[in-house]
Structure 1
Amino acid sequence: MCVMVQSSLSYGQTRTVSGTVSEDNGDPIIGATVQIKGTTIGTVTDIDGRYTLSIESSNPVLVFRSVGFKNQEVALGNQSVVNVTLDRDVSSLNEVVVVGYGTQRRSDLTGSVSSVKSEELTAFPAINVAQALQGRAAGVNIQANNGAPGSSFKIRIRGGTSINASSDPIFVVDGFIGGALPPPEDIESIEVLKDASATAIYGSRGANGVILVTTRRGKKGAPRIEFNTAFSSQEEIARLDLLNASEFMDYIQEIRPQFNSLGADTNWQDEIFRPGFIQNHQFSISGASDNVDYYVSSAFFDQKGVIIGSGFNRFSVTSNVNIKASERLKIGMNMFVQRSAQEGTRTQENSGGSNNTGVVAGAFKFEPDQPVFDENGRYTIARMNDPHDNPVAVAREFQNETETDRIQVNFLADYQLTDNLTFRTTLGGTTSSAREGTYLPTLLNAGRNVGGQGSITGRRSTLLLNENYLTYTKSFNNVHNLTVMGGYSYQSQVNENWSATGQNFVTDAFEFWNLGAASVWQRPTSSLSDWVLSSFYARLNYGYDDRYLVQFNARYDGSSTFSANNKWAFFPSTALAWNVSNEDFLKDNETVSMFKIRGSYGLTGNQAISPFQTLARFSDIFTVVDGRPTNAIRPTTVANDNLTWETTAQLNIGTDLSFFSDRFYATFEYYRMVTRDLLFQVPLPQYSGFTSQLQNAGRVENKGIEITVGGRIIDRGFQWNTDFNLSTNRNQVLSLPNGNDILYGAFPGHMVGLGQTHILREGFPVGSFFGWIYDGVYQVGDTFIPGGGFEQAPGGERFRDLNGDGILNANDRDIIGNPHPNFIFGWNNDFTWKNFDLNIFFQGTQGNDILSYTLMELDLLSGINNATRMALNRWTPENTDTDVPRAALGRARRVSTRFIYDGSYIRLRNLALGYNLPYDVARRVGVQRARIFVSAQNILTFTNYRGYDPEVNWNSGGAANGNLNLGIDYGSYPNVKSYTLGLNIAF
């Protein structure tokens, strides 16, 4: 304990006051100053946050101070023990945020950057960073692809910038581009870089935004041990309202009079769903001395899905060590190791084709009059349409297991060449390998037809990265601040894939672990690809008197992915900002704490295509020549020596405001992004012998507004902090090759008759739904509009004749839906009172449409599967006041407004109540901090969507599918609601 020098004396009775100084989470604050107001008499807290002070004043006021926290004053009165909790000083002026290749004070930022802190990321057990980030940052739209354990999330920062190439942002973990993402519990903060001035430093990969992840580090003091654990029960958010056996038989016998009931009344959703469960545990040790800081953590996540046969588990180790080797040299190492296993992924959706119905699709389609097993103890098989298995058989018997390992190590060294010049070098590598095994046993219909089928697929990816850069920082005359950074980067990746498949096994017992036991072997496959990216980059920041800020970024990228004519490209940006609040007329204003106006413009790129796309490529074929099997090769793509990067030009204008010593804050942004030279598969003439060629053609625009507001609404014994963000984005195609519409189909494999379901058209959003306008049903006496394949009978589907030619055909289709939301939002609220804390977090989207193939399958009423209870209101001669068509055999599937639904929703994403054990009580039981909490996730969803859940992205994986197939629902694994009990302990 250190006692400050006494400069004034007060005479009177001496007494002693003691206590603790801690953070709001219960952690002790080491080195906090405790001082008698108006004097220099005081002391500082020890390693446990404790202090003791002798006082002679009769009624003194104690002032508690610590760097990074707000000062607090306490009138002593007759107290002898004073325990205080200091609030963190969240001043936006002094907060340091991570940017590309460095850090900056928030007050010095010229670009658009959103920050998310660790306490927000760990508000509830999240499967990964994307789920934890959902709704937390303006302009960042995150949706679950489905609710399956271990499933991925679709992330869009300010919309999709591409059509055929990926629009996924890049992740940078502790400076490692494309690094493995640790669990949320091991993350200190996340910065989302959105505009060109922030992302241009990443050049050819910055067009879709950059997410910077900073993992946790050891803090100075004694070794700290933390244990976090949580257990969650889960259930599906909703179920489909389907016909029971009696209602189903009434409907089906109306068009299939000979169809007899098998006597059961099976609720197939009851059969496949079960209570889900999550356990999530994390254990860490950290600490720091003057020369070394360290953080080592292990985490285990295990989820049993709400559908039988599905699950996911993950074990990881995160380690960060930094050493001050000398006064000028610092070295460090970051390491991350992870193994994950996923099973039952087939339950997510229908995989297409006959006999291959997935679990969820099977549960809503399968006849409810059938039992799970027939009289011989075999799984029942569908009697209508294709003879596919019932969903319980698929869930229990189909084997699908994926195991993935990832190891990442990154070494770094900082050397201070002079007082103003620092050199940093990093060398890192990550390797990821995965094995997926599947087995279709003879207990299932499709497996029985081939004597069982097993396959194994393997893949391995190795990524190497070396960064070297210099940073020069200098201040002149206390008004000029200059930072210059420049460097070189080299990155390479090698991808390997292989697979083998066998059929006709003597027994199902081998599953996929003995393909040699198959008597019919399928063709094995293997592939190898690699790429290299070499880059030069630089940034200049200049500030005058903390009022006027200028930034220039530039990156010069060379990629092996592109042709010899276009391997290199230049991506510059510039930004200006004016700190109005530092001007003399506002400098001492007690109301306005910060007022900054900023603007930026720059170019970023997208090179997210596979290697070798510029080259003329050949594919192997197997054919028969003169009666002999022959292996051969044939040309499959034509070369394009002029293929180059997609380039996005972005304008951003923003303002940052805070009031009353940063108690309230607001940020407003306007942006416009235009992506040119789209990497586009352009159709080629049939006589060329090729179907298409990847070319640079077309432009896409995204523009929108982002608003973030928040603050400390109540700041007394009871506290309320709130943060609200809202974002709009308008996506549209500006130009296409020759200005022509491009039609394409996106649907489950067994719905091939649908044909063209989507359109790319100038002036409209990417991935617009394309089809007919549904005008209800024909009534007796109506005039039927003729057209091949269209119904012309009372009760039949009626579609609008758009072009007025008196005939229904393909020319009467138009854009009928937009999968992009009008706006997205997130609203977070934190309440604290004494040792209690409450979190309420809402998230949602508004204005996006969903094309539901699920409801098309059910409400088609063509007698090929079960239906929703909408069928009870179908047209009959006795029930004509309806827009639900009659039951009709052979009705064709058509994409129309009948199956386009509003996908808007508001969701209570998290509701959590916690209690922090008082510091003195915690110490008595041998812990430094203890918090117990209960929480609930997704327990309330307000939506008009009739499907399982509006948060769907069927078949949206991969580069092109990620933008072309938005807003589609078919047989997707439903999202879940969770109830969690957790404990956080620090020793």
Structure 2
Amino acid sequence: MKKLNFLNILIVFVFGIGSLFSQKTITGNVTADGVPLPGVSIIEQGTVNGVNSDFDGNYTITLINENSSLVFSFIGFITQTVSASSANIDIVMVEDIAKLEEVVVTGYGSTTKKTLTGAIGTVSSEALTLRPTQNTTELLMGQIAGLSTRQSGSLPGNDWANLSIRNFGSPMVLIDGVESTLGQIDPNDIQSISVLKDAAATIYGARAGNGVILVTTKRGSDAAEGAKFSYHGTTTWSSLVTMPNTVNAHQFAELMEENGLGAENEMPEYLDYDTTRKRVYNRITGEDFDGVDWYRTIYKDWTPQKQHNLSARGRSDKIGYFISLGFTDTQSAFRDADYTHNRYNIRSNLDAEFNDNLSARLDISYRQTTLDRANFGIQEMYNRLGTGKPTNLPIFPNPDFASQTGAATPYSPVYMTRKSHSGTRLDRDNNLQASISLKYDVPFIDGLSATASLNMETQTEWNKKVQKKFNMYTYNPLLGEGDAAYVFFGTYQRDMITVDSDRDMELLPKLTLNYENSWDEHALKATFVAESTTFERDYLMGSRTDPLSFEAPYLNYSSEAERNNAEIFSQSARSSYVGRVNYDYKQKYLFEATMRADATARYAVEGRWGYFPSISFGWRISQEDFMKDSPTWNNLKLRASYGLMGNDAVSNFDYLTGYNISSGFYMFDGKPFPIISSAGLANRLVTWETMKIANIGIEGTLWNGGLGFELDVFYRLREDILAIPDSDIPFHFGASLPKTNLNSRDNRGFDLMLKHKGKIGNVSYNINPMVSFSRGKYVSWEENILPTDGADGAANATYNNRYVLTGNWDDRQWGYQTNGFFTSQSQIDNHPVDIDGAGNVTLIVGNLIKIDQNGDGLIDWKDQVVVGQGGMPKWNYSTNMGAKYKNWNLDMLWQGATGYTITFGGSAGPWSHSGHQTVSKSFAYENRSIRGANGDIEILRAFPPTFTTGGMPQVDQGASDFNKVDAMYLRLKTISLSYNIPKNIVDKIGLTSIQLYLAGSNLLTIDNLGVYSGSYDPEIVSGVGGVGGVDRAYPNNKTLTTGIKIGF
């Protein structure tokens, strides 16, 4: 055995020495514009032997064949092939001016930008990692023209932005070809994102009507190399973007007196600060009591967040790998901090080559999110927060006694957010996704490959709510010492335990055939896909009241007197066949056609199949002889596309007759039986909703990349939207009519993106502004249209012209135009128009003066006009800017929107006052008009005087332009400054790269909200009662982030 081992060593040594002397080592440096270019792929042609340039652009590669050539490639630069004839080869990379060789991920495949015929926007991993955010949806802000993002709050666990492509609605999101959720993926795992805005999305058929977002995750290195590790860590401090300045106790008392609410016995105590109440509060607080700011009592100034990611990627001769572990911890802005959210992400992407024809992929990802918080309803807490009196203490000397707000519904938001009082809620979400695929390159047919894959995803959501009741008190130390000073006021909620579990599982087997070939000046690609999806859901819930002890908060230790349980099981399935053909001639004339057939179990057999074709063309005008050598135009391409997409977003088995089981029962033969009633008629002919979309685009690059542009104009018609027919049926018919494919609406608009880059001395810079516009109409809508004949024909025609949706824009808000408000009783007495329908006898000073549009002397619905737009902005705009100087990089994004309306309240508006609200805001207090001794307005300001209990009088409650603003804002969405530590310093500590950065988000906002500015966030446009902003929704955050990226 020893002789055999020695012989093996000798053979290896002899042949190894021979190979060593036959190999050749080449070194060199890679630059671009005189700056070292790290990460360039250098591969020995015809092999998998390769390396990447380091941080200083240096590389060393040992060749297998000394007569080989080296291939230098990097995204955004022209690939160069150089003969390995020298021991030192320095390369200057030349930027691909139009990035025409850039690979763009499309549905079920990829193509190069130069042969792309659809409206597809892309974002690279480099652009994604510039943003200081823990949420992937926020990374897309301002990156792609036509993709709008609205951040509707920063509540941990629910802080992702609302995405919409061209205002169509929520798009379909696929991660590595599998439908998923964008907000939960670790941004560090993403290689690229593609957004399919036009008929390019048709290949996904049934669910692609609102566009498609394709996310591609990172994989192993392209060339054989050892493991390369990366660490990315951030510490973020967040604060609320907006925080209202509320009135203090004395201002609150003034408002009460003005409203005529001062007749109560407590009123003098508010107005006289030397009387009992102030002395009591001074003793409690230990300072001069000036009232309570409930917002600042609930919210703290700054909240910490942290994020860590460690990843490794590399490739051996046959196996490539990317492995990533991420952790995110986020706390809420609630001062008591009983609201935390954390997330773990694990991803492993493996590639294996078994031989020249057979390869495989195995991808596994796991995500666990945990939300641990006090048990309270978020929306209810906001409601209570907006009604607390500044004259009521939020926390008593003994904090175990819960205070109350002093409002009509007095539940304290302070104690709602405390686990010790309201209880606990734990939400845990586990998601596991695994995908395996085998690819076979058919050896006897050049360009043909077959791929079989299977994806499995399972998600389990487990929630436990331990609800505690707590008592509320008032406090008066004059009643006695200690507990004797507390007077019981009321009780909030009841003791209850609820546990529920929701398990989802999806299986997606798929077979894909790809063929690609070229001859002479022709190129052809064809794809065929067959896939089938099955989905299964199992939900279980149980609850009981009055647990024996909160030390053992379990269902079996709770009362059986009141218990509840439920179980839901559902299944669905979908089958699809997809075909696509791409052809180009001279890479100048481009053509693509797709066809998808979808079948879903959600429809009856008669309407189960939907067919979704598309066609697109491209003409690279810059390749024509008359432009080919133009010194101005580097690239010019014209595109056009048309496609048909679908939507199957309906309930399962709507085509079957169902039944409702009520909670009551009836007695039959002395026994109780549940009450069962018909759920209504069914319609077996219900089928797919369809979307037809047309797009014409032009894109170009001029002056050697100094200027680039992309312009797309689109039109989408959405037909066969489900609606219940508006038909009169007899009451005794006994059933409601079923849904039918009836309605249709459309959208039209454009996307424009400009790119400019240049260099001034040693500073290179880029500016990329973009703007998009989209507006919709009701083409045909099922609605009640009044008859225009008979005695009421003229009035009905007027009504139809104003309020019928069909044929009109979908963003109109009707209401009354106003011309200020009444400032004196004599003005009311002499006003020629009857506003209240009773000769103005109910009007008081401060009521709005509504304009009589038709001149009939009476204010009614006929005087309403369009006074506002919709809540979704029609115009979205942004500008990405960046500058680079040596090792320094500065990047920023400005983002904004306009063409939408914010409505500020109504009966709970900021200028009204009911005696129960903190929150006649300080800006409303400062801008209100003041009545004189005779009740007439003595000081005229922007707002009318405050009103009596109940808020604005009924006559002013109708929609009007008074409390609406056609909003516009521009926000410094992100800004980051980064520094790359020089290579000679990094080498000394055994690392390959270090980048440090400081970043911020939402640091500056410019808007046109006038007196509302600073108290309302223009990016949040909806809340309770239509009130937008911090007082009726969890606010957006502004953040400061420090980060570090380490390579080793």
Q: TM-score range by the shorter chain?
A: 0.7 to 0.9
SS at match of 1:586: coil
Query: 545, 549, 553: which one pairs with 1:503?
Result: 545
Query: 885, 890, 895: which one pairs with 1:838?
Result: 890
| Residue pair 1:200, 1:604 contacting (<8 A) in 2 also | yes
Query: 348, 355, 361: which one pairs with 1:326?
Result: 355
Paired AA for residue 780 in structure 2: S
SS at match of 1:401: strand
Give the aligned partner of residue 110 of structure 1.
Answer: 117
Give the aligned partner of residue 423 of structure 1.
Answer: 450
Deviations 1:89-141 (A, max 9, x none): 46421111110011101110111000011122222342322111112111011
Paired AA for residue 742 in structure 2: A
Query: 393, 412, 432: which one pairs with 1:407?
Result: 432
1:379 partnered with 2:381: no
Q: CA–CA distance in 2 between the matches of 1:805 and 1:508? A: 68
Q: How far off is 1:237 after superposition?
A: 0.7
Give the aligned partner of residue 889 of structure 1.
Answer: 949
| Structure 1 residues 32 and 435: CA distance shift in structure 2, 3 A | closer
| Structure 1 residues 375 and 806: CA distance shift in structure 2, 3 A | farther
The 10-residue stretch of structure 1 (142-151 or 374-383) with the greater mean CA deviation from structure 2: 374-383
The 10-residue stretch of structure 1 (102-111 or 675-684) with the greater mean CA deviation from structure 2: 675-684
1:817 partnered with 2:876: no
1:480 partnered with 2:522: yes
Question: Number of aligned pairs?
Answer: 916
Query: 926, 938, 947: which one pairs with 1:879?
Result: 938
The 10-residue stretch of structure 1 (21-30 or 307-316) with the greater mean CA deviation from structure 2: 21-30
Deviations 1:170-225 (A, max 9, x none): 111111233675211100000000101x1111111111001010001121322101
Deviations 1:800-845 (A, max 9, x none): 4556665555665554322232311121112111111111111111
Q: CA–CA distance in 2 between the matches of 1:451 and 1:468? A: 55
* Higher-Rg member (1/2): 2
| Residue pair 1:948, 1:974 contacting (<8 A) in 2 also | no
Q: How far off is 1:943 after superposition?
A: 1.6
1:578 partnered with 2:604: no
Give the aligned partner of residue 141 of structure 2.
Answer: 134
| Residue pair 2:319, 2:353 contacting (<8 A) in 1 also | yes
Q: CA–CA distance in 2 between the matches of 1:790 and 1:697? A: 47
Give the aligned partner of residue 65 of structure 2.
Answer: none
Q: How far off is 1:772 after superposition?
A: 4.3
Q: CA–CA distance in 2 between the matches of 1:740 and 1:347? A: 44
| Residue pair 1:702, 1:730 contacting (<8 A) in 2 also | yes
Q: CA–CA distance in 2 between the matches of 1:447 and 1:555? A: 62
Give the aligned partner of residue 708 of structure 2.
Answer: 665
| Residue pair 1:727, 1:823 contacting (<8 A) in 2 also | yes
1:786 partnered with 2:836: yes
Give the aligned partner of residue 175 of structure 2.
Answer: 173
Give the aligned partner of residue 10 of structure 1.
Answer: none
Q: How far off is 1:694 after superposition?
A: 2.6
Query: 252, 256, 267: which one pairs with 2:293?
Result: 267
Q: CA–CA distance in 2 between the matches of 1:970 and 1:634? A: 42
Give the aligned partner of residue 251 of structure 2.
Answer: 247
| Structure 1 residues 826 and 297: CA distance shift in structure 2, 3 A | same
The alignment's TM-score, normalised by the length of structure 2, stands at 0.81
Q: CA–CA distance in 2 between the matches of 1:898 and 1:629? A: 57
SS at match of 2:202: helix
Q: CA–CA distance in 2 between the matches of 1:28 and 1:328? A: 29
Give the aligned partner of residue 638 of structure 2.
Answer: 597
1:461 partnered with 2:504: yes
Q: Gaps (5+ residues) in structure 2?
A: 1-18, 45-49, 62-69, 81-86, 271-276, 282-290, 473-488, 787-801
Give the aligned partner of residue 806 of structure 2.
Answer: 762
Deviations 1:346-377 (A, max 9, x none): 78852xxxxxx31x333332101111134765
Q: CA–CA distance in 1 between the matches of 2:502 and 2:490? A: 25
Paired AA for residue 31 in structure 1: I
Deviations 1:580-625 (A, max 9, x none): 1111112222321110001011111111222122322212112243
Q: CA–CA distance in 2 between the matches of 1:139 and 1:601? A: 18
Within 5 Å, which residues of 2 pair with 1:149-228? 149-153=156-160, 155-161=162-168, 167-178=169-180, 182-196=185-199, 198-219=200-221, 220=223, 221-228=225-232
Give the aligned partner of residue 858 of structure 1.
Answer: 910
Give the aligned partner of residue 386 of structure 2.
Answer: 364
Q: CA–CA distance in 1 between the matches of 2:930 and 2:737? A: 46
Q: How far off is 1:64 after superposition?
A: 12
Q: CA–CA distance in 2 between the matches of 1:686 and 1:773? A: 40
Paired AA for residue 268 in structure 1: W
Q: How far off is 1:234 after superposition?
A: 0.8
SS at match of 2:256: helix
SS at match of 1:546: coil
1:143 partnered with 2:150: yes
| Structure 1 residues 812 and 736: CA distance shift in structure 2, 3 A | same
| Residue pair 1:389, 1:444 contacting (<8 A) in 2 also | no
Q: CA–CA distance in 2 between the matches of 1:224 and 1:344? A: 39
The 10-residue stretch of structure 1 (373-382 or 711-720) with the greater mean CA deviation from structure 2: 373-382
Deviations 1:67-95 (A, max 9, x none): 5575899xxxxxx9999996764642111
The 10-residue stretch of structure 1 (937-946 or 250-259) with the greater mean CA deviation from structure 2: 250-259
Q: How far off is 1:633 after superposition?
A: 1.9
Give the aligned partner of residue 94 of structure 1.
Answer: 101
| Residue pair 2:467, 2:494 contacting (<8 A) in 1 also | no
Deviations 1:729-786 (A, max 9, x none): 1122222015649xxxxxxxxxxxxxxxx98823444465454445432232223522
Q: CA–CA distance in 1 between the matches of 2:849 and 2:565? A: 50
Q: How far off is 1:503 after superposition?
A: 2.9
Query: 234, 237, 246: which one pairs with 1:230?
Result: 234
Q: CA–CA distance in 2 between the matches of 1:775 and 1:391? A: 42
Q: CA–CA distance in 2 between the matches of 1:5 and 1:663? A: 44
| Residue pair 1:759, 1:768 contacting (<8 A) in 2 also | no
Q: CA–CA distance in 1 between the matches of 2:677 and 2:557? A: 31
The 10-residue stretch of structure 1 (552-561 or 449-458) with the greater mean CA deviation from structure 2: 449-458
| Residue pair 2:821, 2:849 contacting (<8 A) in 1 also | yes
| Residue pair 2:642, 2:692 contacting (<8 A) in 1 also | yes
| Structure 1 residues 427 and 345: CA distance shift in structure 2, 3 A | farther
| Structure 1 residues 225 and 980: CA distance shift in structure 2, 3 A | same
Q: CA–CA distance in 2 between the matches of 1:367 and 1:85? A: 70
Q: How far off is 1:470 after superposition?
A: 1.0
| Structure 1 residues 885 and 373: CA distance shift in structure 2, 3 A | same
Paired AA for residue 207 in structure 1: G
Q: Gaps (5+ residues) in structure 1?
A: 7-15, 34-42, 54-62, 74-79, 162-166, 351-356, 742-757, 957-963
The alignment's TM-score, normalised by the length of structure 1, stands at 0.86
SS at match of 1:734: strand
| Structure 1 residues 194 and 462: CA distance shift in structure 2, 3 A | same
| Residue pair 1:179, 1:408 contacting (<8 A) in 2 also | no
What is the aligned-residue RMSD (CA, Å)? 3.6
Give the aligned partner of residue 744 of structure 1.
Answer: none
SS at match of 1:677: strand
1:492 partnered with 2:534: yes
